[in-house]
Amino acid sequence: MAQPSVSTPPPNRIVVSAAAGKYSVVIGDSTIDTLGKEMDAARLGPRRILISSQRVWDFHGPRFRSIGADRTPILIEDGERYKNLNTVARILDALVKAQADRSTVIVAVGGGVIGDMVGFSAATYLRGLPVVHVPTTLLAQVDSAIGGKTGVNHPLGKNLIGAFHAPSLVVADPAVLQTLPRREFRAGLYEVIKYGVIADPSLLDRIRESVTAIFNRQPEAVAPLVTASCRIKADVVSADERESGLRRTLNFGHTVGHALEAVTKYKQFRHGEAIGYGMLAALAIGVARGVTPKSLYEEVESLIAQLGPLPSVADISAKDVYAAIGRDKKVVAGTLHFVAASARGKTVELTDVTEKEIKAATRKIGLRA
């Protein structure tokens, strides 16, 4: 047993129920150092193949020496423009060359791009090998590593090709976030704000009150954000893995957010930044309809401003964004399922949001007509 110490509080463990079985999310500083033991305990092995990116590996590779993996990891490019079938083909080639077999466990070390591509490769190689996620961005720790959604982009749309493949274990070590560029770190914080709006308003208070400590990546400020966010995501996906109802609440801010990413060809915004704008648009629609308190709009607006400036949207047209929403996966049988906030920590689904409302809200947040 690890000795408790002042500097390293014991890790938090959250259990997620998936159709394929339960898995643990282990969160805490230095948890990467226990990865091998966690995998042993979950009977994940005997063979372990690590997949990461050069950048992540240069920073954190040495910490994985002890997990009994093949000596050289498979290194692939990360970044959204590499999240495609070509990179998946490279991963699969490397697995074939490494003679990965049914006793092999894949360990994905990286941000959401690595996690989604490696998860998808693990879902398809030999019709499915277990995958362990070690998320290294804030966004991946609080969101993408949990829930089993995997996949890649098609030139015509984001995440159009994919599979559900729940991980067998997730180890989120906030200490790795020390090396994350500030912009990437901040992008993850918008998703934490999302959890605050949809489920746990204390997260909004926490960010507002300790923004400096959070940006300084002080463990006692960051780890509770990761834990609280993971708990919400874990609860939601345990109740609704395939997104037939409750999981849709996680799409708060994502209707307009994804559209902003699409019309700017995924170049102008980090995903979280687009969600920052998307949340403001969703709140504006709610306020205009009378379902969202104006005070909540103002609270989130000032919190987002407190984190720093977002890239400008002044050159983006509300008309283009509306058109992009029509092409989104959230349109089911012609109906847009729009998540609005009804109070701090509560959501309501609207299925009759009009073009006029969306255009008015996107203009309110700064888009041109």
Ligand X SMILES: NC(=O)c1ccc[n+]([C@@H]2O[C@H](COP(=O)([O-])OP(=O)(O)OC[C@H]3O[C@@H](n4cnc5c(N)ncnc54)[C@H](O)[C@@H]3O)[C@@H](O)[C@H]2O)c1
Q: Which is nearer to ligand X, 83 or 206 (CB)?
A: 83
Q: Which H or E run contains 37?
A: helix 35-41
Kind of pairing between the strands at 12-18 and 21-27: antiparallel
- Name which of residues 159 to 178 contact ligand X (CB under 6 A): 159, 176
Binding mask 33-72 for ligand X (x = CB under 6 A): --------------------x-xx--x-------------
DSSP string, 188-224: HHHHHHHHHHHT-THHHHHHHHTHHHHHTT-HHHHHH
Nearest to 144 by CA among 178, 119, 173, 168: 119
Q: Which of 136, 229, 251, 264 binds ligand X (CB under 6 A)?
A: 136
Residue of 241, 271, 273, 299 marked catalytic: 271
Binding to ligand X (CB under 6 A): which residues in 237-266?
none
In terms of CB distance, is 257 or 286 closer to ligand X?
257
**Degrees (nearest 5) of the Cα angle 11, 203, 145?**
50
Q: What's CA 174's distance to the chain center, in Å? A: 14
Choose the catalytic residue: 83, 233, 248, 270. 233
Cβ-based nearer residue to ligand X, 74 or 113: 113
Q: Is 60 a catalytic residue?
A: no
Contact pick of 11, 28, 73, 110 for ligand X (by CB under 6 A): 110
Rg, Å, the chain Cα set:
20
Say whether residue 137 binds ligand X (CB under 6 A): yes
Residue 324 to residues 297, 328, 331: CA-CA distances in angstroms? 24, 7, 11
Long-range contacts, stretch 58-66, CB < 8 angstroms, 24+ apart = 59/176, 59/179, 60/32, 60/109, 60/136, 60/176, 60/179, 63/32, 63/33, 64/32, 64/35, 64/107, 64/109, 66/33, 66/35, 66/36
127 is catalytic: yes
Structure tokens at 167: 């991980």
Please say which residue, 87 or 347, places its beta carbon nearer to ligand X: 87
- Is 38 an active-site residue? no
User: Taking the C-alpha atoms of 280, 286, 291 and 296 in order, what is their torsion angle to the nearest 10 degrees?
Assistant: 20
Q: Is 133 a catalytic residue?
A: no
Q: Choose, from 12, 153, 241, 251, the residue flagged as catalytic.
A: 251
Q: Residue 154 catalytic?
A: no
Query: How do beta strands 338-343 and 346-350 pair?
Result: antiparallel
Residue holding tokens 């409302």?
357
Interface positions, 296-325, toward ligand X (CB under 6 A): none
* CB-nearer residue toward ligand X: 24 or 153: 153
Which span sits near ligand X by CB under 6 A: 106-114, 125-133, 275-283, 327-335?
106-114
Catalytic residue status for 183 = no
End-to-end CA distance of the chain: 61
Find all residues with CB under 8 Å of 50, minimum gap 6, and list them: 64, 67, 69, 70, 73, 74, 107, 109
Least distance in angstroms from the C-beta of 292 to ligand X: 24
Instruction: Identify whether the C-beta of residue 174 lies closer than 8 Å to the C-beta of residue 222.
Output: yes
Least distance to ligand X, CB of residue 366, Å: 23
Name the catalytic one among 133, 194, 247, 270. 247
Residue 278 in contact with ligand X, rule: CB under 6 A? no
List beta partners, residue 74.
51
Q: Which is nearer to ligand X, 172 or 304 (CB)?
A: 172
149, 194, 248, 344: which one is catalytic?
149
List the helix and strand counts (H, then E) for the chain. Answer: 14, 13
Size of the site for ligand X (CB under 6 A): 29
Q: Is 149 a catalytic site residue?
A: yes
319 is catalytic: no
In the bound complex, what is the minimum distance in angstroms from residue 368's beta carbon to ligand X? 27
Candidate residues 36, 67, 132, 143; the one interacting with ligand X per rule CB under 6 A: 143
Cite the active site residues: 127, 149, 191, 233, 243, 247, 251, 254, 258, 271
Residues that bind ligand X (CB under 6 A): 53, 55-56, 59, 78-80, 83, 110-114, 116, 136-137, 139-140, 143-144, 147, 149, 159, 176, 179-180, 184, 187, 271
